[in-house]
Amino acid sequence: MTLPRFDQIRPKIEAHIREVKDFPKKGINFRDIMPLFTNPQLVNELCVVIADHVRHTVGHVDSVAGLEARGFLFGPQVAIQLGVPFVPIRKKGKLPGATIEASYQKEYGEDIVAIQEGAVKSGDIVFLIDDLLATGGTLRAAANLIQKAGGKVGEAFVLIELAPLNGRAKLPDVKLTTLISYDSA
């Protein structure tokens, strides 16, 4: 389900996404969201719209979890709108104290994401947020991490989906909402 407000804000967000050809390597068309942050009112409006979406489609959530690093740009603001804690999902070794970890395969090996123990409690419903869905590995690991901690992913949200990379296929058990989908990677 898409709320009408997503349809209203989508063109404004798209106008602030810059395509950078051949970055970070030749043949890649990078979608740069940083120009969006030149318009703080639009960023705030986006976070309000996302929070409204959560209220209407997920209902109650216990926390918002954002993936390092760009999920940190939206996640805390959405969490504030919802009045719930923000849970940072970081690379292994970046969080102090005891952590819960989940691994995932990258193009050239394995990587590990982590949350602090106690950040997600048994039975918690968590809203996951990130900027981009490409191959789906990181978002899959984040969902596994929430489940390993005893929580349930109420929904995952990404600003941009690169549809040809079929990352959605790695998340058959996760309700996923995308604001903008590109047909070319």
Q: Which residues are catalytic?
A: 70, 107
- Beta strand 86-91 with 152-162 is unpaired
- CB atoms under 10 Å from CB of 121, counted, come to 11
User: What is the residue type of 184?
Assistant: S
Cα R_g (the chain), whole angstroms: 16
- Beta strand 63-67 with 125-133 is parallel
Coil, strand or helix at 74 = helix
